[in-house]
Amino acid sequence: MSVVPGMYEWFRTSARAHPEHIALSAGGTDFTYSSLDAAAARVGAAIVELVGSGSGRRPRRIGVLGHRAAAASYIAYLAGLRLGDTVISLNTEFPTPRSAEITRMAELDVLVHNESQRELAAELRDETGVALLPIADDGSDFTGDGPAAPVGAPEPDDLAYIIFTSGSTGSPKGVPIKHRNIAAWMPHFVGLFTDGPGARVSQTADLSWDLSVINVWLAWGSGGAVVAPSKTALLAPTKHIADDRITHWISTPSSVTMARWLGDLVPDAMPTLRWSLFGGEALTPEHVQAWTEAAPASAVANVYGPSETTVTCLAYVLPADPGDWPTTSNGTFPVGQTHPAIEHVVVDEEGKPAQAGELLVRGPQRFDGYLDPAHNRRRFALLNDNGFAEFHKGPGEPGAEYWYRTGDRIGLEAGSAIYLGRADNQVKVHGYRVEPGDIEAAMRTHPDLDEAVVVPCPADDGIVELAGFYTGEPVGDQALRDFLADRLPTYMTPRFLVRLEQFPLNLNGKVDRKTLTAQAASLVHANSPG
């Protein structure tokens, strides 16, 4: 097997080359690469002593419980990687029972937590028995002299981290990523969006979400700085970007909508921004035009990738000249071309090659199966000339020849991939098969609308209606219906058209479709006969 650097080695390389450069700015404290590495080494020593006390065994899986803006969270995260252990970050905003379930599923040896999370950590210890190691939020209790843990030497097939996503059964679903997976992603992605030290990357995502891997490693993989703003600062991103001299911004397009709603996207409001990366939702010309007026020096990219493909697997860098922007069938920007380490194919429902259909991927970025092998069911497949030849049924890991079924629909237009929504997002309205994304694209073409989300709303009698929510200027109900009638079949025009000041967002910063679906259901009941 070829030599593959462990995840920590990417940080260590930057630390050796730029020891006095800022690696982390959090909570009003700056850490150089040298001082951050030293703090992580001391936390690593404390972890080894705590876990090995009385047993002599080394830790295997390290949990990190801390808010995104605290230096301690990054010190603990780096300490786990430095030891060569597997790191699992827990979201402090999750309900305690969910975090306890993740703690048990991940089989954590220790939970390193910020002092400000002492009560939540104690609850998790009481529920699961996990050992606790507290760190001051600013990491000051581990910045002095003390023992330093040696650097671990993980094998390529060892786990670097586990991301937990929502599962269809109601339990979290663990996505383990190995060092060889991240080694296949890192050089291409970091090389594409950075050009040496000097990057200041805004930490827009919680460490429990894989978007944070982009935030952290665009910086640490290039000798740059992770800048961790407070939650309040993120509510006004343009001020944070300007005040903290941010060069790289990564978020969902919903952040653009929020900034527009606040009136913050004034010309040249973000002069230091060099790259703006968006992902997780449809990116439209309206988004980019508004954003780049405020950040004229910024290039823009649309990135895509499920956690299972190691952070991202496709990327599209927009042309600098809006006159060169592509026109697509659904009015959104492409997600582009696959990364060099990715093989892909687009297939129809039977698994046969198609111009539009489900995206399947394989290659060294593809993970090797869920933490619970039961979740692998029908997610991995072999193909032949007749379509799906075999589905992996476990219990072992699917071999490299298996394709991972992303569940996302992709269309191929002019050599680029266009995101078309989930393969299981179709609904039937009066017997017709409908893609909500088609309706959303039509609504967005109205000059007074900013954003649109369409959700199904089944009535008690089983008949499915549609509700269309939008932001922007008020539009008369009949006027909007007339507008849509020119673009959609009658059965695709939503029964309910509702203007919102802004869309509800979930913890990952994406539009909360569950909340909108619940609101749509209440509209159905309120308008039912009797």
Residue 530 has pLDDT above 60, yes or no: no
List the single range of 194-198, 351-355, 457-461 with lowest mean pLDDT. Answer: 457-461
Is 406 within a domain?
Answer: yes
The rounded distance, in Å, linking the Cα atoms of 464 and 155 is 52
pLDDT at 329 over 80: yes
Lowest mean pLDDT among 18-22, 90-94, 353-357, 378-382: 90-94
Q: How far is CA 81 from CA 5, 64, 77, in A?
A: 12, 12, 7
387, part of any domain: yes
> Is residue 516 over pLDDT 50?
yes
Mean pLDDT, to the nearest integer, of 290-297? 96
Give the residue from 422, 455, 486 where a domain finishes: 422
Residue 353: partners with Cβ closer than 8 Å, 6 or more residues away: 345, 346, 347
Bigger pLDDT: 395 vs 54: 395
| 53 C-beta neighbours (distance < 10 Å), count | 10
Q: Both tokens of residue 166?
A: 């929502």
Which one, of 301, 283, 285, 281, lies nearest residue 293 by Cα? Answer: 285
- The answer to whether position 352 is within a domain reads yes
Q: Do 370 and 383 fall within a single domain?
A: yes
In this predicted structure, what is the pLDDT of residue 336?
Answer: 95
In the numeric block, the tokens 């060569």 are attached to 84
Give the pLDDT score at 508. 77
- Kindly state the average pLDDT of the residues 68-91: 96
Residue 127 has pLDDT above 90, yes or no: yes
Tally Cβ neighbours within 10 Å of residue 197: 16
What does the alpha-carbon distance between residue 377 and residue 102 come to, in Å, rounded to a whole number?
21
Sign of CA dihedral 515, 516, 521, 523: positive
**Short-list 264, 211, 210, 207, CA closest to 238:** 264
445: Cβ–Cβ under 8 A, 6 or more apart, which residues?
A: 331, 487
Task: Read off the pLDDT of residues 230-272 as tens digits, 9 standing for 90 and up.
Answer: 888 888 899 999 999 999 999 988 888 888 888 899 999 999 9
Taking residues 273-300, what's their average pLDDT? Answer: 94
Written as one string, the DSSP assignment of 434-458 is E-HHHHHHHHHTSTTEEEEEEEEEE
Confidence at residue 524, expressed as pLDDT on a 0 to 100 scale: 77
According to the 3-state scheme, what is the secondary structure of 125-163?
HHHHCCEEEEECCCCHHHCCCCCCCCCCCCCCCCEEEEE
Reported as a pLDDT band with limits 50, 70 and 90, residue 387 is: very high
Q: Are residues 351 and 417 in the same domain?
A: yes
Question: Among 399, 422, 445, which residue terminates a domain?
Answer: 422
Q: What is the CATH number of the domain that holds 443?
A: 3.30.300.30
Separation CA 170–CA 163 (nearest Å): 16
| Token pair of 254 as six digits | 């919903």
Residues 392 and 468 reside in one and the same domain:
no
Looking at the structure, tell me whether residues 446 and 407 fall in a common domain: no
Whether residues 408 and 455 fall in one domain: no
For residues 304 and 394, the model is more confident at 304
Q: CATH number for the domain including 400?
A: 2.30.38.10
Q: Give yes or no: residues 455 and 515 share one domain.
A: yes
Q: Are strands 432-434 and 275-279 parallel, antiparallel or unpaired?
A: unpaired
First to last CA, the chain: 70
Reported as a pLDDT band with limits 50, 70 and 90, residue 388 is very high
Q: Is the pLDDT of residue 169 over 90?
A: no
User: For position 51, what pLDDT does the model report?
Assistant: 92
pLDDT given for residue 462 in this prediction = 54
Give 412-421 pLDDT, tens digit per residue: 987 899 998 8
Q: In the predicted model, is pLDDT for residue 431 greater than 60?
A: no
In a domain, 330, yes or no: no
Mean pLDDT of 297-319: 96
Asked whether residue 236 is domain-assigned, the answer is no
For residues 277 and 336, the answer to whether their CB atoms sit within 8 Å is: no
Q: Mean per-residue pLDDT for 495-502?
A: 94
Residues 416 and 432 in one domain: no
Residue that is written with structure tokens 């593809």 in the block: 366
pLDDT score of 426: 62
Let me know whether 479 and 407 are in one domain: no
Alpha-carbon dihedral sign for residues 105, 110, 116, 119: positive
Nearest-10 crossing angle of helices 7-17, 211-220:
30
Mean pLDDT, all residues of the chain: 91
Can you give the pLDDT at residue 42?
97
Specify the DSSP element, H or E, that contains 243: helix 237-243
| Sheet strands side by side (includes 110-114) | 131-135, 110-114, 61-65, 86-90, 159-165, 173-178
Query: Are residues 453 and 501 both part of a single domain?
Result: yes
pLDDT of the residue at 529: 55
Cα–Cα distances (Å) from 195 to 189, 198, 248, 312, 394, in that order, read: 11, 9, 12, 19, 42
Instruction: Report the DSSP beta bridge partners of residue 104.
Output: none
Is residue 52 one of the residues assigned to a domain?
no
Angle formed at CA 337 by CA 220 and CA 168, multiple of 5 degrees: 80
* Structure confidence at residue 21 (pLDDT): 97
Q: Say if residue 493 is in the same domain as residue 447.
A: yes
DSSP states of 59-87: P-EEEEE--TT-HHHHHHHHHHHHHT-EE
Asked, for residue 438, whether it belongs to a domain, the answer is yes
**Overall number of domains in the chain:** 2
Confidence class for position 90, pLDDT limits 50, 70, 90: very high
Between CA 341 and CA 69 the distance in angstroms is 33
Domain range for 355: 340-422
| Distance (Å, whole) CA 121 – CA 76 | 14
Predicted confidence at residue 424, as pLDDT, reads 67
- Nearest CA-CA partner of 217 in 5, 362, 433: 5
**Parallel, antiparallel, or unpaired: how do β-strands 173-178 and 131-135 relate?**
unpaired
Per cent of the chain over pLDDT 90 is 70
Residue 212 confidence (pLDDT): 93
Lowest mean pLDDT among 231-235, 338-342, 351-355: 231-235
State the average pLDDT over residues 456-463: 66
In the listed set 422, 455, 477, which residue is the last one of a domain according to the structure? 422
Question: Does any domain span residue 157?
Answer: no
Same domain as 441, residue 407: no
- Indicate whether 109 pLDDT > 70: yes
Residue 472: CA count within 13 A, CB half-sphere: 20
**Can you tell me the mean pLDDT for 153-157?**
95
In 326-472, beta strands by DSSP E: 337-338, 343-347, 356-362, 380-384, 387-391, 403-413, 416-422, 427-429, 432-434, 449-458, 464-472
Tokens of 101: 């379930």
Q: Tell me: do 461 and 412 sit in the same domain.
A: no
The mean per-residue pLDDT over the stretch 410-431 comes to 79
Q: What is the tens place of the pLDDT at every residue in 186-228?
A: 999 999 999 889 999 999 999 998 899 999 999 999 999 999 9
Determine the pLDDT at residue 1: 42
pLDDT value at position 461?
Answer: 47
Weakest mean pLDDT among 280-284, 296-300, 445-449, 477-481: 280-284
